[in-house]
Structure 1
């Protein structure tokens, strides 16, 4: 892919790292000279020390052949201007960081995929690591639903039962689905069926309409979550 990354700060640099490592053709536009120099030194990509809110700059970056533009600056006004210019040139995929939640709808109205302020996401993730210590990783889906990873305790109610048996015994609340199982370090995860048996030590990927509440995590043997309910 040909990707234009606007901004080489705390968000842009890790993105540039990922995109170049995956062998994409990356062009970076960074207004700050020191940040631009750093990106040019450390990564195999073209770096323009210029203002991305100017169409001439984006033309120099090759916007007419870009597959994607990702704007990562710390100013929502800059990000939305860049995205509007990218929409004008019909870039297929446009993504932006949004720092102020009140601006989210504005970005969406012009057809830009958005990501909430990463600092807020990190803060929430750290809080969840304390509040729900059994959860290894999670992603919100809508207002309440979550996809999360959790390890099955050896003595968990669901251990050594099939998913059908767990459902018949009411161990999994309504709206909870086990979507993948990682077992014994196997390379490929198991796609579970009704007759699949859950073992202690399994790492499950779970979808829950109501999130990772104690009533959900109890089935996997993690009662400590009640301490924070």
Structure 2
């Protein structure tokens, strides 16, 4: 893919590294001279020391052949302006970081795929790691739903049961699915006759999130605290 990345700060630099390592054609636009110089030395890509809120800059970056424009600056106003220009230049995919949740609707009205304030996401993740240590990884989906990973305790109510048996016993709430099982480094796509074993790391989708009622099924009663 041909990607234009605006901003070479903390977020942008991580993205540039991932995108270049995956052999994409990457052009970076960075207004700050020091950051632009650092990015040009560190990454194998074209770096423009310029202002991405100027139409000519995006055109110089190759907007006419870009597959996506990703704005990662720490200012929502800048990101909005960049996306507006990207829309005008008919770049197929527009993606942006959004720092103030009140601005989400503005980006969405522009047809921009948004990523919520990364610092807040990290803070929530760290808090969850302390409050709910049994959950190995999680991702929010919409307002309440979550996808999360959790290890099955050998004495858990679900241990030794197939998914069909667990459903028949009323262990699963409506809107709850086991979508993957990691067993001894083998990933299993579960079916109704798949048996859950102690030590399995299961990936779960729950419409109501990883509530204590849900995690109890896998033997983690400490989560009530």
Q: What band does the TM-score fall into relative to the shorter chain?
A: over 0.9
Q: Secondary structure in 2 aligned to 1:27? A: strand
Name the residue aligned to 1:11.
11
Name the residue aligned to 1:198.
196
Map Cα deviations across residues 159-213 of structure 1 (whole Å, 9 max, x no partner): 1100011111112222210011111112xx2111111100111111100010000
2:32 aligned with 1:24, yes or no? no
Unaligned runs of 5+ in 2: none
Answer whether contact 1:79 1:96 (CA < 8 A) is retained: yes
Q: Secondary structure in 2 aligned to 1:90? A: coil
Q: CA deviation at 1:132?
A: 1.0
Map Cα deviations across residues 120-165 of structure 1 (whole Å, 9 max, x no partner): 1001111111111111111111110101111111111101100011
- Give TM-score scaled by structure 1 length: 0.97
Name the residue aligned to 1:111.
111
Displacement over 3 Å in runs of 4+: none
Name the residue aligned to 1:217.
215
Unaligned runs of 5+ in 1: none
Instruction: Give the Cα–Cα distance (whole angstroms) in 2 for the partners of residues 116 and 167 of structure 1.
Output: 35
Instruction: Give the Cα–Cα distance (whole angstroms) in 2 for the partners of residues 84 and 122 of structure 1.
Output: 28
Q: CA deviation at 1:95?
A: 0.2
Instruction: Give the Cα–Cα distance (whole angstroms) in 2 for the partners of residues 110 and 176 of structure 1.
Output: 33
Instruction: Give the Cα–Cα distance (whole angstroms) in 1 for the partners of residues 164 and 108 of structure 2.
Output: 41
Instruction: Give the Cα–Cα distance (whole angstroms) in 2 for the partners of residues 173 and 99 of structure 1.
Output: 34
- Give TM-score scaled by structure 2 length: 0.99
